[in-house]
Structure 1
Amino acid sequence: MALWSSIRFSLRILRKHWKLTSIAVSSLAIAMAAGTAGFSVFNALLLRPPAVLRPDQLLTVYSSTPTEEFNGFCDDDYTFYRDHNEIFSDVMAFPYSISMSPVVHENRTKAGLTNAVSDTYFSVLGVPPLLGRVFKRGDDDNPSALAVLSYSYWRWLGANPNIVGKTVSINNVPLTVIGVMPKGFVGTIFSDLPDVWYPLSTDLTVNHQGLAWRTDRTNRPLRIVGRLKPGVTREQALANLQTISKQLASAYPKTNKDRLARVTDTRMLPEDSLSSARIISAIIFGIVGLILFAACSSVVNLLLALASTRRHEILVRAALGATPKQLISEVLVDSTLIAGGGGVLGLFLAFLGFRQLLQFKPYFPGLGSLPLTIDFLPDMTVMAATGALVFVVGLATGFVPGLYSSTPNLAAALSGEIAVGGTRKGRIRNLLVAVQVAVCTLVFIGVGLCFRSLENLRNVNLGFTHRNIAILTTDLQAVASSEDQGRKLYARIREAASQIYGVESVSIAGDVPVSQSEGNVEQVRVANSLTQGEAGERIAFAMVDENFFSTLGIPLLAGRVFASADTPKGPETIVVNHLMGEKFWPGESPIGKTAQIENGHRVATVVGVVADGKYVDIDEAPRPFMYFDLNQHYQPGLYLLARTKGSPRQWLAPLSDALTKAVPGLYPLTLTIDDWLNFALFVPRITLFCIAGFGSSAFMLATVGLYGAVFYSVSERKKELGIRAALGASPQDLRNMILRQTGIV
């Protein structure tokens, strides 16, 4: 009852001083919104489990070596782990990558995202379908032309309730729809929602890879996820899996030596991305901490002002026997109610902000604008954290004003002492305002540096010309039954694109710079001591044709680029970047030198050296890189790069039409190099968007806090200002005095 009486009394006091209450609640609401937003991001990236059945029973399995911490598994290894483990009730696998392919249903074509998964994928996750059924064990034993659709793709098709049994085609391969997943199911790949899932065995036909995909023990694209049997601990699971790892190492020493299993909790965010997520979260929490500190300083200042306006009331209460503890507790109730109001309003503002963010649809190369699949909306975990923060802030902001209220100056109050701007209390409040403004200024500086960093990324030297470049991506596997036929289609595609008016240069490549993916990597050895270990060094590469360097304006520093004389049956040739040449052949010309590829299974001769560039990320450090001749290494999935006169966007439709006419059955996806690079800047931009929001919060907080402090300082000094006016001070003199003191603060 005593607590409820204190709450009702505090509510009356706060309602009476509604202006001060509004300013204090607004200040804390801004800070609480920032805090809720920051913790929501942290929760979505690092804490929230995937929306599946009993996620606490799931473990993700990686393979690791002394040089590779989080790696995948080849298909044979996955099968061995599935069949020989003793700790999982069921196991599934999926490649942690999504294919971008044209998906066709009843003459409706969509640039879709597709994901090959094991037949146990959905049963391990424990999510039932909305319509039809999911894959069952045995669907992956032989190529099965089956497909499960996502809810969003099913809606895009018109939400036909009779879709089960219909056909969708991927790369001209028909698949029978057997089910549709419910709304909210996003799979197991962070930020990417597939439109279609199909069995791993079907990937051999959809992407026309033959048996190589599943028999190559050096190809490890698969992530393994298992559901623990009841009563099995994580330690028992790891011990059993590492026993299996040692069995595989004994059976396949060339590929599995020193390769051990390791387990982690199953998260949407892959384990190898956690360090970046933690850094981003730490930055956000640092900014939020500064904003909260500034808000608390503002509220402490305002509560001191409230205590000053109530000094006669506090004096009377003390004279009637109120103890210091009671006086402090009343102020703590005031501050907690203000913090509670700020928390509720801040939570509401955070909800509004994230709902706006969820309307944001980033542009994905070749796919257009897609909605975010990451749910940042505050959940019960975030609400509980906000509640705890409200309690802590309430105590923190009420402590100092409570101490001030618990020791009223009886003599000063009885003498009617006038509040003057230079008193000790006034100096303390001015100091609090100065601290608040300083902290907010620090946040502003941080936001400015982030904007500067993004601008530096936009202006970084990429090593190639990124103006007026059109990109078309397609796959020849659906229209070419052999490598010879595919190479003939290379020439036909180049010829068709070159005939278009406005196209100055055309190239075909297996990848595009700044790919956001490590892509292809080979073990490289040279005949000297500069490679590490017997296996050599892992060097990333791309397959390109002879026009690639001229089309993208990559400078040739020495030697030559690829030529028509470099045939599939001739000596293998490579072009290296400057850093690779310096690293492997220091002080020598790399031209004519040889490198052993695939642990010595192939030997390639360096024919040219080109300038260094950016290959995976815009902000990556310089790295060795090499190029293989696409004419010597057939790759059906390709990019056509066309340098155009003027803006390339106007040539996308003519280029697509030309390729479709030249090679019927192709469904090229179109974009520009600027689209590609903007996608590479998506993560820095979204991070900057969040930080800019915090900067805006700091600005509003500084404005509201400074206004409140000045307003109540002036209100408290009414008698002083009246005396100054009576002694001849003009209104302008009084304004200048207040502004001068505010400026000093």
Structure 2
Amino acid sequence: MLNDLRFALRTLRQHPGFALTAIFSIALGIGAASTIFSLVDGLLLRPLAVLNASQVVTLRSVAPTVSGSQFAGASGAMSYPDFADFRDRNRSFDGLLAYQLSVFGFARDAQSQPQMKMGFLVSGNFFRVLGVSPQLGRGFNPEEDQVPARDAVVVLSYDLWAHEFGRDVSVIGRHVNLSGTDFTIVGVAPESFKGLDQFIRPAFFVPIMMGAKLPSAANENLLTGRDKRTFMVKGRLKSGVSIEAANQEAAGIAKSLEQSYPGTNRAIGAGVVTEIQARLALLPFYAGVAASLFFLAGIVLLIACSNVANLTLGRSRSRAREIAVRLAIGAGRLRLVQQLMTESLVIALAGGALGLLMAETAAELFSRLEIVGETPIQLNFQLDHRVLCFTLFVSVASAIVFGLVPAIQSARTDLTPALKSGEPEYGRKRFFGRRALVTAQIAGSVVLLAAATAQYRSSVKMLFADHGFRRDHLLTMKFDPSLIGYTPAQTGQFYKTLIDRTRQAPAVKSAALALFIPLTSTIRQQAVIPEGYAFPSGQESTTVLESTVDEHYFETLDVHILEGRGFLPADLANSPRVAVVNQAFARKYLGPKPIGKRIRLNDANGPWLEVVGVAVTGKYLAVSEPPTEFLYLPLSQDPQPRMTLFAESYGDPAALAGPLRQLVHSIDSNLPIFSVRTMDDIFEQTSVKTRDLTNGILISAGLIGLSLAVVGLFAVVAYQVARRTREIGVRVALGAGRSQIAGMVLRSAATMSVTGIGIGLALSFAAARARGAQPLQPFDRLVTIVVPVSLLLTALLAAALPAWRASRIDPQRALRQD
């Protein structure tokens, strides 16, 4: 094997043109595949950074009462009392842990301005169950998980420790202020542990028992409310216990809880799933995204393999005498195949190494993508041992794909003609195979370019469509007075003062308050029961997106009220409760006359709300989303600690930032202000950059496929000219002109190109029809005309040089060839 490797390296070094072209071609394919794998791995596949991650599973609540909604029951969260019952009654787990993502006001000391940080409220056994040992100090002791609001201790994340404390090892025992309460630092998590979410990196970990002391409405009844399902639950299976057995036990415990607590646990089941299953349940579109990305990478890789196979088949012509001599002196055909496959493996491994460098560059670019929202979402794309193993696997598989058939064909060389002329006698069938490979490459390029063009056109239409709200001349600021100890009454008074003074500011045209910023990642969901609506059997409610807004919101953001009215100052806390729904909600649940209809929140025991208005259906999470049901609640009847101020300016909205900061500090100089951004900037970050990323991936794939197809076409046409040199000489000798010879070569290239374009367009149209539910029809004249014409012209340009060479063949020298 070592001798084969030395011979392969020496042979490739003697033919640098072939070696470099083949290595670069396969590097493009492997690089695309490795990049896509790193994306999908970061989004979906990468295991948790804990001890024996395969033993850690998710225990989810199953709530059929909210099934049927595209957002229903996705999280599978549990209440703390339910978690405690499962923890104490189960026999399948070595331990169950609970955690909840929460917002904190973080300050290093009493003199520091609080910052908004995301942290985990965790059960006391959190680190023990996961098998995570702190970098410094300790985790939580059992007694710190027993008494509410007693043990104010915190474990810092490694990133916060490094950023705020400069990796000071004496940090243990110091105090930090979290939402108005001093906490003692008892530990620092290891650098490798980023939490239990593939997107969100918590800044610190706080015992669940301290959650009740955090001044937020979201933490009321946190430890006692059986209907307050906010905790995610994971567990480590005991040795020898299967997921199926744990699932059966969980279902039995859930049934027992339903019988004991019918008021809160009616129809609430439980199930045990793997980490990947839990991620897919939370965001099911990931499966489609992953499949689409791998399909895209597969096409590029197959085009690359076809290209290298074509180059290898062409090179076998020049090696025919060498191979024939080796066969003549006794080399076995199997031994010859092994030698040739070693050369292919060297090409593939070199291409894989180069592809890894390409993937690393792409991963760095993707990791810089910012997703706007109060939750700090970070895309974790990295080249680790998993990507290296995947790249190695793909490299070896590629070597087999592009190298095996040429190696077998070379080993089957007919000795007599090869020794006589130095060329193999391959015949029409083998040359037809090379033409078929080029045709397939061109077809694949058409599919990629059509997809890229369609995606670009669709995304442009979506970006410039009406999104149901305005974004020009708007500045946003976020606040959460509860993070510095405001009571609900003080919070309400602060927001009243803030909105009154902001609307009186001379540079402000209008202002409003809302819980949710359109097209950002943070949004609430609400279980709703429309009065008189008949749900399918076993379902009693639906889940819709929801935001709390004040009476100025619809005017300030230009959200049109189609029927009825928006909210009024008369909609007070002690007034009859009201709501505004969007048109999609009204059409689906309320019928042709929605005004005056009632809806109930949460469950059958929840409050009734009268629908007083119907707003236009807009875009809430993404510009590409289908029409989605949405619910608006008035701030006066649904007070929230964390709100966003929308200020409309007469001119540049960014110019409002300074005056509004001064205004806020005149109300309370200690109040932190978060996320000061214009709506145009938010739209740029959430929608335009996402579009650019998607379009960049597709266009890059299309251009890579096109480049490889052009190289393959050039190689086949050049080989065809060399193979037909004698025939061309005869044609010239009989009077054929140079233009006729060039035309003959170009016609051959055009035939392959047109055939590939036709097949590619047919596949593209079939794929479009299979995706018939897309919001925009993707195929138009740009796809059906511009892409094929451009590809055909590019193909003819690639064939122009071999055609020109063919037209310059000297008939005398050609006829003297054997």
Normalised by the size of structure 2, how large is the TM-score? 0.81
Please say if 1:491 is aligned against 2:489: no
Q: Distance in 1 between matches of 2:321 and 2:608?
A: 93
Q: 1:155 aligns with which of 137, 148, 162?
A: 162
Confirm or deny: 8 A CA contact 1:433 1:705 kept in the other structure.
yes
1:304 shift after superposition: 1.5
One-letter code of the match for 2:471? H
Provide the residue aligned with 2:597 in structure 1: 593
Q: 1:462 aligns with which of 457, 463, 467?
A: 467
Please say if 1:26 is aligned against 2:24: yes
Provide the residue aligned with 2:609 in structure 1: 604
Please say if 1:115 is aligned against 2:113: no
Please say if 1:258 is aligned against 2:267: yes
1:717 shift after superposition: 6.6
Q: Distance in 2 between matches of 1:592 and 1:443?
A: 51
Provide the residue aligned with 1:41 in structure 2: 39
Provide the residue aligned with 2:302 in structure 1: 293
| Long gaps (5+) in structure 1 | none
| Long gaps (5+) in structure 2 | 68-72, 753-818
The 1:733/1:110 distance shift into structure 2, 3 A limit, reads farther
Confirm or deny: 8 A CA contact 1:193 1:373 kept in the other structure.
no
Confirm or deny: 8 A CA contact 1:50 1:267 kept in the other structure.
no
Task: Trace 1:214-363 onto structure 2 (pairs within 5 A).
Answer: 214-266=223-275, 270-273=279-282, 275-358=284-367, 360-362=368-370
Q: Deviations over 1:649-701 (max 9, x none)?
A: 23223323311221343212122223444454366654544444433432443
Provide the residue aligned with 2:806 in structure 1: none
Confirm or deny: 8 A CA contact 1:554 1:611 kept in the other structure.
yes
Task: Trace 1:169-184 onto structure 2 (pairs within 5 A).
Answer: 169-184=177-192
1:739 shift after superposition: 6.1
What SS class does the counterpart of residue 96 from structure 2 fall into? strand
The 1:424/1:602 distance shift into structure 2, 3 A limit, reads closer
Please say if 1:574 is aligned against 2:579: yes
Please say if 1:632 is aligned against 2:620: no
1:313 shift after superposition: 2.6
Tell me whether 703-712 or 132-141 shows the greater mean CA deviation. 703-712
1:108 shift after superposition: 5.5
Q: 2:660 aligns with which of 655, 675, 681?
A: 655
1:415 shift after superposition: 6.5
Task: Trace 1:194-213 onto structure 2 (pairs within 5 A).
Answer: 194-209=202-217, 211-213=220-222
1:744 shift after superposition: 5.2
Tell me whether 330-339 or 460-469 shows the greater mean CA deviation. 330-339
Please say if 1:145 is aligned against 2:152: yes
Tell me whether 248-257 or 686-695 shows the greater mean CA deviation. 686-695
Q: Distance in 1 between matches of 2:193 and 2:461?
A: 38
Provide the residue aligned with 1:165 in structure 2: 173
The 1:465/1:198 distance shift into structure 2, 3 A limit, reads same
Q: Distance in 2 between matches of 1:230 and 1:645?
A: 66
Provide the residue aligned with 2:786 in structure 1: none
Percent of aligned pairs with the same amino acid:
28
Task: Trace 1:59-70 onto structure 2 (pairs within 5 A).
Answer: 59-66=57-64, 67=67, 68=73
Please say if 1:698 is aligned against 2:705: yes
Q: Distance in 2 between matches of 1:554 and 1:348?
A: 48
Q: Distance in 1 between matches of 2:532 and 2:516?
A: 29
What SS class does the counterpart of residue 397 from structure 2 fall into? helix
Q: Distance in 2 between matches of 1:62 and 1:730?
A: 78
Tell me whether 397-406 or 682-691 shows the greater mean CA deviation. 682-691
1:310 shift after superposition: 1.7
What SS class does the counterpart of residue 557 from structure 1 fall into? strand
One-letter code of the match for 2:245? Q
Confirm or deny: 8 A CA contact 1:470 1:643 kept in the other structure.
yes
Q: Distance in 1 between matches of 2:491 and 2:421?
A: 97
Please say if 1:673 is aligned against 2:671: no
Provide the residue aligned with 2:134 in structure 1: 129
Q: Distance in 2 between matches of 1:98 and 1:451?
A: 38
1:126 shift after superposition: 2.0
One-letter code of the match for 1:280? V
What SS class does the counterpart of residue 93 from structure 1 fall into? strand
Confirm or deny: 8 A CA contact 1:89 1:227 kept in the other structure.
yes
Q: Deviations over 1:322-377 (max 9, x none)?
A: 4544444443333333223323332343334334544x25253468xx79452431
1:162 shift after superposition: 2.4
The 1:258/1:649 distance shift into structure 2, 3 A limit, reads same
Confirm or deny: 8 A CA contact 2:44 2:279 kept in the other structure.
no
Q: Distance in 1 between matches of 2:534 and 2:346?
A: 70
What SS class does the counterpart of residue 393 from structure 2 fall into? helix
Q: Distance in 1 between matches of 2:287 and 2:390?
A: 18
1:183 shift after superposition: 1.7
1:13 shift after superposition: 3.0
Q: 2:53 aligns with which of 52, 55, 59?
A: 55
What SS class does the counterpart of residue 314 from structure 2 fall into? helix
One-letter code of the match for 2:162? R
One-letter code of the match for 2:449? F
The 1:585/1:87 distance shift into structure 2, 3 A limit, reads closer
Q: Deviations over 1:542-574 (max 9, x none)?
A: 221110110110112222222222221121122
Provide the residue aligned with 1:553 in structure 2: 558
The 1:500/1:333 distance shift into structure 2, 3 A limit, reads same
What SS class does the counterpart of residue 144 from structure 2 fall into? coil
One-letter code of the match for 1:559? G
Q: Deviations over 1:89-136 (max 9, x none)?
A: 3221112x4537554545265443223222222222222222222222
1:276 shift after superposition: 2.1
What SS class does the counterpart of residue 613 from structure 2 fall into? strand
Tell me whether 157-166 or 243-252 shows the greater mean CA deviation. 157-166
After superposition, the CA RMSD in angstroms is: 3.4
1:221 shift after superposition: 1.2
One-letter code of the match for 1:37? T
Provide the residue aligned with 2:773 in structure 1: none
Confirm or deny: 8 A CA contact 1:40 1:382 kept in the other structure.
yes
